[in-house]
Structure 1
Amino acid sequence: MSETTHPDVLAPAQLGPITLRNRIIKSATFEGRTPKALVTDELIEFHRRPAAGGVGMSTVAYCAVAPEGRTERGQLWMRPEVVPGLRRLTDAIHAEGAAASAQIGHAGPVANGKSNGVPALAPSASFSPLSLQKIHRATTADIARITEGHANAARHAIEGGFDAVEIHFGHNYFASSFLSPKLNRRKDNYGGSLENRARIVRETARAVRDAVGDRIAILAKLNMDDGVPGGFWVDEAIQVAQWLEADGSLDALELTMGSSLLNPMYLFKGDAPIRDFAAAMPQPIRLGVQLVGKAFIKEYPYRDLFMLEHARQIRAAVKLPLVLLGGVTDRAGMDTAMAEGFEFVAMARALLREPDLVNRIAAESKTRSLCIHCNKCMPTIFSGARCVLVDPVPVRRSSSDS
């Protein structure tokens, strides 16, 4: 696609059955604003601001499909009680002219079993560095229940007024851990060959499509590279993307990388704020981060469009609409993504710093993000995700959950 014929990133675009006012999506970033696993006024305002700031769609994270699928007990999980609050949230996003997407998934081995009060689940038994507890091997009954949980979560998303759902197949959460040869040591139909390791991904996407049809758009967030020796890698991601395209379950793929379990900074690039992470953790995990944090929280140089090299390989292999994530900070990067054949771009940290960045780019194309990639926003998920350079004070959560 030549530079002169690529789509205008700021023009309306079709995503499955819905039309977005532009091709810019606020990517899911855990908000830390649901202390009782229900919607709060602070969560609504968190998404209203980028919607007012010009994004085409804002993605609510993280809407777990089961109680044990939360990274911690304050996280949203999809059930009838949450629907009225979700409706208030989506109404606020829609009032600003944007669409609303719910990221649905199961944290798997990334779940904090101690916080949730129920064991974390993974393809194979192991020990969690996050909760310092055993991670249990998921049974076939667990897999069937979690797959159906995704379908139910999508139904609740529709009841809550969402225009789209994004299924989480990344970051070594439940589905992603099955894709990983390092984490999946099973000998049954969900382990071994790539076809078996990808089975749960394909079954989950199909269950969601069967549950909602074409009433809402269905995206999935797919890892291209776990950033871990022996983990899932781009050559296998290409094949999985091709299978998902052939299955016809998805309207788009958002491409990502990294492992929240084993190498979280691989996703973000930039500074590694180990001291800030330690300060945000309870003991004894705080001491562990202080002692061995450098081995776990690694530092990778930041550059704009840092996922583009991997994503190009997926782009060349499928016709399915793709969302480019990673270092999208200005109009030049957005135009590059469009010229490379990506249908949408996603932004995260830049919108934490400046929720109105899209409107500012629309008004002046040479506008650049003020985000300095210090990543000090990452530890704030425990007290309310924010840019500490703009708002150093932790979020005061309301006691009146919806």
Structure 2
Amino acid sequence: MAAPDVFAPVQLGPVTLRNRTVKAATFEGRAPEGQVTDSLIDYHLAVARGGIGLTTVAYLAVAPEGRTHREQIVVGEHSLAGLARMADAIHETGAAIAGQVGHAGPVANGRSNGVKAIAASPMPSPLSMQMVKSATEADLTRVTKAYVATARTLVRAGFDVLELHMAHSYLISSFLAPGLNRRKDSWNGSLEARARLARQVARAVRDEVGDEVAVTAKISVSDGFKGGVTTADGIAFAQLLEADGTIDALQLSGGSSLMNPMYLFRGETPVKEFAASMPLPVRLGMRTPVGRSFLKSYEFTEAYFRPKALQFREALSLPLMLLGGINRRDTMEQAMADGFDFVAMGRAVLREPDLVNQLQAGEVATGICIHCNRCMPTIYSGTRCPVITPEPIQI
């Protein structure tokens, strides 16, 4: 049987997408007051007009302590009108819109947020220089309800897809990772116990939204640190989600925002630029051997998660989104031949928002992103490609 055309319409749960390309969630740095801005809408309009099938709004927090820092949107009645305005604008282009629904857990900056971060177990935070608290039973009940309320608000706003963030050492991921989950209760032990929060949240969200929207999850092919989620753990976890029937597709990511961020990005490591964007205590910490080891170096190769993702493809029937350094048309076509259902792109369309249109028209065969990763530190001043936009974004 011939591989599907990556540029042809496709079904994602109850939603029809115009093609199989997805703008991956990458924090936009364009909501300084925790509200949708014209700049945030323009950021997503650029890739929507550029041909992407589904654009994903990043870091829509379910609770105040779930933000990575204060300049992020907490979804609620106060942010509904702006979210609806953004969804309407994206729909006018023919693209669909997803919201990445998450709780940052130990990746949250409690000092910036003005409220202590929570995680599976207590741990020191290199971001806030505070202790992260162990989530209580009351916290987990509250957070689960917050996921449901957030899902309902995004449906009301007109979003097409909800992406549940279950990777990168965020709250749910901190329960999944044995090295971060040192609890002595029913939320730890076997993989089933460590996956309890993820499955509880997915079930609660699905029960709330039914088939009104698609529900996806971002999971890890490997966290890339000792004590993190392994590939075997990730596959077993994905099989649990598949058996539960709560998820329409899985996006296969990797790495840890807390322990090993470069495992996700690969390519050049912009240590100097990262240090310059950080508060003074963190900047000083990055000069120590421990700080320098935080930003490891990994060679960039096209579709670098493909080998591990293929193991997931073999073990699962669920639709899968391949992510990780996808810049070329032949890579997209190979993904389709491999049995993946969607391709997710981040840096490539940050550099060239109209890349999908160019690839589809045959005008180019590859994108021009050089994977210098200097876009990563710009999240604090308006996420952009500094090769073409060196100055901070005015919001």
- Shorter chain as denominator, the TM-score bin is over 0.9
Contact 1:275/1:290, CA 8 A, preserved across alignment:
no
User: Which secondary structure does the structure 2 equivalent of 1:314 belong to?
Assistant: helix
Determine if the alignment matches structure 1 residue 97 to structure 2 residue 94: yes
Q: Deviations over 1:275-318 (max 9, x none)?
A: 00011011111111233442101110000010001111111111
Give the one of 26, 34, 58 matched to 2:55. Answer: 58
Contact 1:277/1:289, CA 8 A, preserved across alignment:
no
Give the one of 156, 162, 165 matched to 1:165. Answer: 162
- Identity percentage of aligned residues: 54
Contact 2:6/2:20, CA 8 A, preserved across alignment:
yes
Contact 2:358/2:364, CA 8 A, preserved across alignment:
no
Counterparts in 2 of 1:365 and 1:237: CA distance versus 1, 3 Å: farther
Determine if the alignment matches structure 1 residue 326 to structure 2 residue 324: yes
Supply the distance in 1 between the matched residues of 2:280 and 2:288 (Cα, whole angstroms). 12
Contact 2:330/2:365, CA 8 A, preserved across alignment:
no
By how many angstroms is 1:230 displaced? Answer: 2.1
Determine if the alignment matches structure 1 residue 297 to structure 2 residue 257: no
- Kindly report which structure 2 residues correspond to 1:241-320, keeping only aligned pairs within 5 A, or say none: 241-292=238-289, 293-320=291-318
By how many angstroms is 1:177 displaced? Answer: 0.6
Supply the distance in 2 between the matched residues of 1:170 and 1:383 (Cα, whole angstroms). 24
Contact 2:269/2:297, CA 8 A, preserved across alignment:
yes
Q: Deviations over 1:229-286 (max 9, x none)?
A: 1211010111111110110001000011001001111100001100000110111111
Supply the distance in 2 between the matched residues of 1:253 and 1:365 (Cα, whole angstroms). 31
Determine if the alignment matches structure 1 residue 9 to structure 2 residue 6: yes
Contact 1:29/1:348, CA 8 A, preserved across alignment:
yes
Counterpart residue number, 1:344: 342
User: Which secondary structure does the structure 2 equivalent of 1:284 belong to?
Assistant: helix
Supply the distance in 2 between the matched residues of 1:29 and 1:151 (Cα, whole angstroms). 23
By how many angstroms is 1:23 displaced? Answer: 0.1
Supply the distance in 1 between the matched residues of 2:183 and 2:189 (Cα, whole angstroms). 7
Determine if the alignment matches structure 1 residue 43 to structure 2 residue 54: no
Counterpart residue number, 1:396: 394
TM-score, normalised via structure 2 length:
0.99
- Kindly report which structure 2 residues correspond to 1:81-96, keeping only aligned pairs within 5 A, or say none: 81-96=78-93
TM-score, normalised via structure 1 length:
0.97
By how many angstroms is 1:144 displaced? Answer: 1.0
**1:316 partner amino acid:** E
Counterpart residue number, 2:70: 73
Give the one of 82, 104, 107 matched to 1:107. Answer: 104
Supply the distance in 2 between the matched residues of 1:83 and 1:195 (Cα, whole angstroms). 35
Supply the distance in 1 between the matched residues of 2:86 and 2:142 (Cα, whole angstroms). 27
Q: Which moved more, 1:279-288 or 1:336-345?
A: 279-288
User: Which secondary structure does the structure 1 equivalent of 2:252 belong to?
Assistant: strand
By how many angstroms is 1:365 displaced? Answer: 6.3
Counterpart residue number, 1:400: none
Aligned residues: 394
Q: Deviations over 1:53-101 (max 9, x none)?
A: 0000100001000000000011111111101000111111111110000
Give the one of 366, 369, 383 matched to 1:368. Answer: 366
Supply the distance in 1 between the matched residues of 2:93 and 2:365 (Cα, whole angstroms). 22
Supply the distance in 2 between the matched residues of 1:230 and 1:284 (Cα, whole angstroms). 26
Supply the distance in 1 between the matched residues of 2:145 and 2:4 (Cα, whole angstroms). 37
Contact 2:25/2:57, CA 8 A, preserved across alignment:
yes
Contact 2:66/2:102, CA 8 A, preserved across alignment:
yes
User: Which secondary structure does the structure 1 equivalent of 2:286 belong to?
Assistant: helix
Q: Deviations over 1:112-170 (max 9, x none)?
A: 00001111000111100111100000001101111111111110111111001100000
Contact 2:106/2:170, CA 8 A, preserved across alignment:
yes
Contact 2:199/2:241, CA 8 A, preserved across alignment:
yes
User: Which secondary structure does the structure 2 equivalent of 1:96 belong to?
Assistant: coil
Supply the distance in 1 between the matched residues of 2:369 and 2:19 (Cα, whole angstroms). 22
Supply the distance in 2 between the matched residues of 1:321 and 1:275 (Cα, whole angstroms). 39
Consecutive unaligned residues of structure 1, counting only runs of 5 or more, are: 398-402
Supply the distance in 1 between the matched residues of 2:361 and 2:312 (Cα, whole angstroms). 32
Q: Which moved more, 1:230-239 or 1:206-215?
A: 230-239
**1:355 partner amino acid:** P
